[in-house]
Chains A and B, each alone.
Chain A
Amino acid sequence: MGDLPVALLVILVTTSVSVLLGLIGLFLEKGYEAKLAGREAALGAFLILDLDTVPGMAPTAGQLVSGNVVMGTGYLKQFAASLRNLVGGEIKGYQRVLDLARREAQLRMVEAAVALGAQAIVNVRFETSDVGGAKPFSEVFCYGTMVK
């Protein structure tokens, strides 16, 4: 008889903690995205191509540049994804995280190129991979050749 209220209490506590963590995660994500947008704006319109050369440009130097990031999705998003997986369809939470990760990796590559005095980056490639292990962490790796 005393077990039922305890069980309900446990369920209530774990649910509220999960929701709280999720809300904290959402709040942190919004702050992070604002900073990311700020850094992207600071760079201005930097030319990134996945062509071999910049049409009409005759560069005199080139070098490999890259950027990478590993993003965790957060517990609440993982739970939401497992629910979504029951019915199928787009997992918006994961999509958002990977989108941010891709922007971050690309931004790091561009920042590395700008530090070298580049005018553009050609032959840009993206790679997303599972880091390995039980948890769903993804690494986004972005690389290209900076030219000037």
Chain B
Amino acid sequence: MLLVNTETIPGHTIVEARGLVSGNTIRAKNLGRDIGAGFKNLVGGELTGYTELLNESRQEATDRMIANAMAMQANAIVNVRFTTSAIAGGAAELYAYGTAVVVKPNA
């Protein structure tokens, strides 16, 4: 499944727009990583545990969006946007949305 955050895909033509698709995840922080991060935060610097956690969560949200697009028989998603919001209780919602389209490669 081809994903871009532009309106069109280079080298392809959009044949049909199937509709808006989205995927989200709500990820609560992991206690072990939080304690590790607390220690790392004493000196500062990158919190790799959290980076990985959010990376995986965002990938999961994207995979759900792709699954929705496949259910529409689309073969690409354009104008992909991401949002992240902190939710009360130490959780974060990651949301990915875009327009599912059918594209064909330019000859």
A residues bordering B, Cβ < 8 Å? 21, 24-25, 28-29, 32, 52-53, 58-64, 66, 68-75, 77, 97, 104, 122-123, 125, 127, 129-135, 137, 139, 141, 143-145, 147
- A72: which of B5, B41, B54 is its contact (CB, 8 Å)? B41
Please state if A63 and B37 are interface contacts (CB–CB under 8 Å). no
The answer to whether A69 and B11 have CB atoms under 8 Å apart is no
Q: Are A59 and B11 in contact (CB under 8 A)?
A: yes
Q: List 29 A-B contacts (CB under 8 A).
A: A53-B6, A60-B11, A62-B11, A63-B4, A64-B5, A68-B58, A69-B46, A70-B47, A71-B46, A72-B37, A72-B44, A72-B46, A104-B46, A122-B6, A125-B5, A127-B84, A129-B86, A130-B86, A131-B54, A132-B86, A133-B29, A134-B90, A135-B38, A137-B50, A141-B82, A141-B84, A143-B80, A144-B5, A145-B4
Is B42 an interface position by the 8 A CB rule?
Answer: yes
Asked if B47 and A71 make an inter-chain contact with CB atoms under 8 angstroms apart, the answer reads: yes
State which of A60, A71, A77, A130 has its C-beta within 8 Å of the C-beta of B10.
Answer: A60
B7 within 8 A of partner (CB): yes
Which B residues between 13 and 57 are near A, CB-CB below 8 angstroms? Answer: 29, 34, 37-38, 40-47, 50-51, 54-55
- Give which listed residue, B9, B44, B81, B89, contacts A62 with CB less than 8 A: B9
Beyond the given A25-B44, A145-B4, could you list 13 further A-B residue pairs with CB under 8 A, ordered by the A residue number? Answer: A25-B42, A25-B45, A28-B45, A62-B9, A71-B47, A72-B40, A72-B45, A75-B43, A97-B44, A123-B6, A137-B37, A139-B51, A144-B5
Is B70 positioned at the interface, with any CB of A under 8 Å from its CB?
no
Residue in chain A with minimal CB distance to B2: A63
Closest 7 CB pairs of A and B: A74-B44, A72-B41, A59-B10, A129-B84, A60-B11, A25-B43, A70-B50
Interface residues on B, range: 35 or more
Q: Which residues of A contact B38 (CB under 8 A)?
A: 135
Considering the complex, give the chain B residue whose CB is closest to the CB of A133.
B90
- Give the Cβ gap from A132 to chain B, nearest Cβ, in Å: 4
Inter-chain contact A132/B92, CB cutoff 8 Å: yes
